[in-house]
A and B are shown apart, each in its own frame.
Chain A
Amino acid sequence: MSQRQITFEILRYDPETESEPRFQAYCVPCEEEWVVLDALNYIKDNLDGTLSYRWSCHMAVCGSCGMMINGEPMLSCKAFVRDFPNGGSIRVEPLTHFPIERDLVVVMDDFMDKLQAVKPYVIPKKKRTVEDGTYKQTPKQLHQYQQYSMCINCMLCYAACPQYALAPDFIGPAALALTHRYNLDSRDHGRPQRQEVVAAHEGVWECSFVGACSEVCPKDVDPAGAIQQMKIASTVDWYLEHLMPWRRK
């Protein structure tokens, strides 16, 4: 097993005691198969116990460890140190476009509010009881929305989205991809309710289709695709509502 010394420049910030963020360098003996999260754990355990960051599963499932690594939004558990240029240092910062809670931990409130606004859960046509039994779904019906259900709420897409940076009211990629996921679900009839948010200016229309969200998504969800599909559906709605006003509810 080969080992190499890598310098990590890590953003440190405690809003309660410091006026602005600063960078602190740590030299870490990294193993070949390490990811950036391993190096952070090494720092926390051996060099500086005061470093704060979120993580849990270490296997790209929980979505907790999203960070800016050399300026790119990435899951630190998926960012292998061997993939970074030899001899160079690795810069680690909290996800951009979010306020910093402390060090690499960001305040997620805005995302959580937006996620709730789009009602990301199955809204059935009429309430089912346990006696009614389970929902049946064909593999084809599952396939309709499965890709969009892979979202782990890691927020890398929000850090990548230039539109979210410019217009913080924008509902944003992940919440919209999840909206699409439930709209496409055969068990769900909640689309009219979600449309109140989706068809608003802050909904799909704030997106200018840069596509960075889909590029950085660690689960290949393709939020950009979901948003464009919802733009088409919302446009059809708009024309139907205005050309056939009697359809309006």
Chain B
Amino acid sequence: MAKSNKPIVWGLFAAGGTVAAFVIPVMILITGFLLPLGLFGSGEASYERMSEIVGNPLVKIVLFGIIVLALWHAAHRLRITAHDFGIRNDALVARGVYGFAALFSLIALMALLSI
């Protein structure tokens, strides 16, 4: 039997699952609630302050990692969910979901580089 190449997408899926479970909720808590509610002081949620934080190369790398891994996790998850719902055209579903993840990975990269 030939060895499968599925580890490429599964590796991203597994890493993304860990990120989605442990990091994303914290990110939502901080950026969605604590910052806007002013828990870190007023002005911290301002455009200038945010641009300054995201402008840091280290923050860019971390953000890129979180976004890309979460995207590829979601893509693979959706592929399996489609399969579980009885959609058997796996090649088409795979192209669609991974294409979406690739496109938005690229958009995330461009957006981060432009800051």
A residues neighboring B (CB under 8 Å): 162, 195-197, 199-203, 205, 208-210, 231-232, 234-235, 237-239
Contacts and interface: CB of A to CB of B under 8 A. Distances in A.
A205 B84 contact: no
A-side binding surface: helix, strand, loop or mixed? helix
A210 B80 CA distance: 10
Interface of B: 1-8, 10-11, 14, 80, 83-84
Contacts of B80: 208-209
B-side binding surface: helix, strand, loop or mixed? helix
Contacts of B2: 200-201
Contacts of A208: 80, 83-84
Contact of A197 (B1, B8, B10, B14): B1
Nearest to A117: B1
A201 B6 contact: yes
A221 to B, nearest CB: 22
Given A201-B2, A210-B84, A231-B14, 19 more contacts: A162-B84, A195-B3, A196-B1, A199-B3, A200-B3, A201-B4, A203-B1, A203-B4, A205-B6, A205-B10, A208-B84, A209-B80, A232-B14, A235-B7, A235-B11, A235-B14, A237-B7, A238-B3, A239-B7
6 contacts: A200-B4, A203-B1, A205-B10, A208-B80, A232-B14, A238-B3
Contacts of A235: 7, 10-11, 14
